[in-house]
Amino acid sequence: MTDDPPRRRRDYRIVVLGAGGVGKSCLTAQFVQNVWIESYDPTIEDSYRKQVQVDGRQCILEILDTAGAEQFTNMRELYIKSGHGFLLVFSITSLSSLYELSRLREQIIRIKEDETIPLVIVGNKSDLERERVVSRSEAFSISHSWGNTPYYETSARRRANVDEVFIDLCRQIIRKRKIEGWGNDDEIDYEPDPGPDHYHSRRRRGRRRLARRESRCTIL
């Protein structure tokens, strides 16, 4: 019996940021599992993994939702520090959630000490057009002022543009690493695929998993 040749993948750590209630968990659940979760229980830590192909490269996504406001800031700094790319999510029904993104971006740049970190701006809840308070032009003007950061409008409820935002971010990360000469440094042998994309809900264990694993998508 011959061993299979080792397969290779590249691991990218993606962090999903945004104000409370903008739909970060719903977006991620849709991307990972193709499910719509109407109401999310914040007391449960949910961990998601997804292996996807982006232009022939493997990418794994994992999400950790944490409860506890005090830990939140520290955990967020930790996640930002370790992130390779960031989804900045607001709701088109909340102007304040859009303004929150500037603060988050400044925090990312400060912590990462990098102004070219891969970002995607996500205007979620596009199905609530009648409740829209953030115009597309307002969101685009922020995108332009940030050096044309990609802007997408999504609906987690209708699963509109959900894959696109994650894939765009992965592409940016791949491009940046190429430009910066990371080459194949982060390629590692990996275990055979455990099966279909999976989802698990855990209490407390998620944080340890986050520290251990190389590839993550974290929701804050």
Ligand X SMILES: Nc1nc2c(ncn2[C@@H]2O[C@H](COP(=O)(O)OP(=O)(O)OP(=O)(O)O)[C@@H](O)[C@H]2O)c(=O)[nH]1
Dihedral of alpha carbons 219, 37, 39, 154, sign: positive
Specify the residue, 23 or 206, whose C-beta has the smaller distance to ligand X.
23
CB of 126 to ligand X, least distance (A): 7
Q: With contacts defined by CB under 6 A, name the span among 2-10, 37-45, 178-186, 196-204 that binds ligand X.
A: 37-45
CB of 9 to ligand X, least distance (A): 27
Out of 9, 13, 17, 23, the residue judged to bind ligand X by CB under 6 A: 23
Specify the residue, 155 or 218, whose C-beta has the smaller distance to ligand X.
155
Residue 211 has which token pair? 């520290």
Out of 11, 40, 51, 149, the residue judged to bind ligand X by CB under 6 A: 40
CB of 40 to ligand X, least distance (A): 4
Dihedral of alpha carbons 68, 70, 72, 75, sign: negative
User: Between β-strands 45-54 and 57-64, what pairing exists: parallel, antiparallel or unpaired?
Assistant: antiparallel
Residue 201 as a binder of ligand X (CB under 6 A): the answer is no
Q: With contacts defined by CB under 6 A, name the span among 17-25, 104-112, 114-122, 132-140 that binds ligand X.
A: 17-25
SS3 content of the chain, % helix, strand, coil (to 5): 35, 25, 40
Q: Which residues contact 200 (CB under 8 A, 6 or more apart)?
A: 46, 47, 48
Site for ligand X in 135-164 (CB under 6 A): 155-157
CA distance 142 to 149: 8
Site for ligand X in 62-121 (CB under 6 A): none
CA distance 79 to 76: 5
| Residues found near ligand X in the complex (CB under 6 A) | 18, 20-26, 38-40, 42, 124-125, 127-128, 155-157
